[in-house]
Amino acid sequence: MSELLEQFSAPPLIELESDLEALRKHAQKVLMQHGFPQRKTEAWKYTPIAALERRDWSSDGPDESAARTESIELPFDAHRIPVHNGQIDTSQLNEIDGLHIEPLRAEQIDTSAYVDHDPSDAFAWLNLARLEQGICIRVTHTLERPLALQFSSSDQFKQAAHPRIRIELAEGVEATLFEQHRLHGSGLINLVMDLQLAAGSSLQHLMQRQNDESALIARTEAQLEQAAHYQAYVLDLGGALTRQDLKVHLNESRARTRIHGVAALKDKQLVDYHTAIQHRVGPSHSEEDFRILADNHSMGVFNGRIHMLPGADDSHSDMNTANLLLSEHARINTKPELEIHAEEVTASHGATVGQLEEAARFYLRSRGLNDAEALALLKFGFAAAAFDALESEPLRQWFTDRLKQAL
């Protein structure tokens, strides 16, 4: 790991203003002190970071080769923000009413939640340590069209990039954020996203990923004020290594969140979901449902954590994770945690790991489907349930179509 650390801790290329530079220095210090997560680091127990070490990070300089001009398809018209090889391009967003884009300032970076006494948050620190381009998107009015963050990388992409994006929703604003990833090459995108939801605002955050060998380590942290509403739907259809930390802080009363996700994995793909929902004040409400289908030699990980702090009275939380193991070489590791420090709350979680019922397959075959069709239908039924709660019909359709194709 030391070589990797050396490569990552080389001085950044672009000089930043002094406050940001100080933050960057501090992050470098923390990173050098604790290094990257090891097998014994609880939060990274199932994410094989060592695989990154084996990669060839030696080629330096940004990849300027013929950019893979893949335009990622979207089912609707949107305000697009392409992020190619980690470079955020906001040129298509000029003078849009209610949308303000500015460079990230030091006071907009909150590291108070980052662990600085062990390597648990090493990649969040790394993002800061290598910070070159960060943006803040402020949404002051409800937008007509959704925002689309489209991450891509070219086949020759071998580097590590550390984009940082902050999105602020003003009071009462409603927005839809589409986050798509089509990463090629063999690099690393180490993304940090901070979402700020002011009182009464509502964000629908849709994530869809279909990567190759490139690794993605993403940390999304949402802060919700009074009666704010954050919904996230995730669909992962592959990627050699995808790690998604999704942290939602329900900071004020009547804040609520729903996070649902599906990962359909094959070959040697790996998806590791680490979610944490913090109920600071009651009443607040959270609901979580993650479904993983692991085939071939793939591995699916779900670590969900519900944390009710003293004062979160009258809050309610439900967490569910269902997993299908479809091959004798695949692995599922799951850990749904509850940490409750308030009395007047209800919290529950359920977790299952298993395979499809033989009886159900037999029933479908007796109705004329062949085995492959029966299997695909059952897998689809199992996974698609996570998108049932998606209110927008076209969006739901788009998600389920993608899922159907993948299965």
DSSP state of 42: G
Residue with tokens 């004798």: 328
Cβ 196 to another protein shortest distance, Å: 29
Cβ 152 to another protein shortest distance, Å: 34
- CA 5 vs CA 8, 245, 380: distances in Å: 5, 21, 41
Closer residue to another protein (CB): 74 or 353: 353
Closer residue to another protein (CB): 73 or 358: 358
Cβ 299 to another protein shortest distance, Å: 9
Closer residue to another protein (CB): 240 or 319: 319
CA dihedral (79, 263, 118, 123) in degrees, to 10, reads -30
Cβ 361 to another protein shortest distance, Å: 14
Cβ 46 to another protein shortest distance, Å: 9
Closer residue to another protein (CB): 20 or 330: 330
Query: Distance between CA 239 and CA 234 in Å, rounded?
Result: 14
The number of residues making up the chain comes to 407
Closer residue to another protein (CB): 297 or 404: 297
CB atoms within 10 A of CB 352: 12
Closer residue to another protein (CB): 252 or 313: 313
Classified as helix, coil or strand, 258 is strand
> Which residues lie closer than 8 Å to 270 by C-beta, 6 or more apart?
47, 48, 239, 240, 241, 242, 298, 299, 300, 301
Cβ 345 to another protein shortest distance, Å: 7
List residues binding another protein (CB under 8 A): 42, 310, 313, 323, 325-328, 330-355
CA angle 195, 201, 202 (to 5 degrees): 75
Q: Which tokens is 128 given?
A: 């800061």
